[in-house]
Structures are given as structure tokens and as C-alpha cells.
Amino acid sequence: MKRVITYGTFDLIHHGHINILRRAKEYGDYLIVGLSTDEFNEIKGKKAYYPYEERKQILEAIQYVDEVIPETHWGQKKEDINDHKIDVFVMGSDWEGKFDNLAQLCEVVYLPRTEGISTSKIKADLKVRI
């Protein structure tokens, strides 16, 4: 059983998120998502539209996702990789190189982002249109 992990806020789920989750799952048999808590989003400078519990509920309904755990701080990845016996760590290419230090623990994979979509674009477009 190959175990994969990825992290993010996953607010206002869109096809860019679905693409990364689908491709991350292709690297193994079990995909864990480290979902940023509302408090951690503040540290990241993000304000999610949906609170953590609702973002978690939506992620758990996605066929590629097997488990959702809270992401409460930047430094938890090593611990997560050990505790959850992770074989592959996957992030979108906007994080290219940022997590190479984890390569001592597991395979580190950066996948191309889906162009033309982002949660902030959705928010900006909706502001204009309504």
C-alpha cells in the first residue's frame, strides 16, 4: 500500500484542485490531504470562504481522497510523513523546490499547476459580476 500526502487550503474547490488530487492519487493507493485549518490560513495570509469543517466535508466526498488531517503549522510535514508512513509527498508546481528537504524521508513530487483557475480568481470574478 503506497501512501501519498498533499497539503493545502482547498477553498471553493475547483478543477485545479481536482486535477492535483487525481494526479497525486496516481502515485499510490491511499491519499491523505493535510487541510489547512482556519487558524493556519491566517498565518498563511489566507481567508477561506468555507470554514475548515466544511472544506473537510467537501474533500472527503472526493473519490481520490482517503483521509483528511488538519494542517496547523508549516513544520508538521516531517512528523506527518513519519506518523502516516508516507511514501510520496505531492504539491503543485507553485511550490517547486520549497519542500525538497523532505526528500530524505519520502519521494517529493511537484506537479504542474492547472492554468487559468484559482480560488482568488473565482473570488475576483464573482466580485465583478455580481
The binding site for ligand C2G (CB under 6 A) comprises 7-10, 16-17, 20, 36, 44, 71, 91-92, 94, 113-114, 117-118
- Please report, for residues 9, 32, 37, 48, 96, the alpha-carbon distance to residue 54 in angstroms, rounded to integers and kept in the order given: 11, 17, 11, 11, 28
Q: To which H or E segment does residue 117 belong?
A: none
Instruction: In angstroms, give the least distance from the CB of 95 to ligand C2G.
Output: 6
Q: Which is nearer to ligand C2G, 17 or 25 (CB)?
A: 17
Active-site residue, 47 included: no
List 44, 47, 85, 123, catalytic entry = 44
Instruction: In angstroms, give the least distance from the CB of 92 to ligand C2G.
Output: 2
- Please report, for residues 22, 79, 88, the alpha-carbon distance to residue 25 in angstroms, rounded to integers and kept in the order given: 5, 21, 10
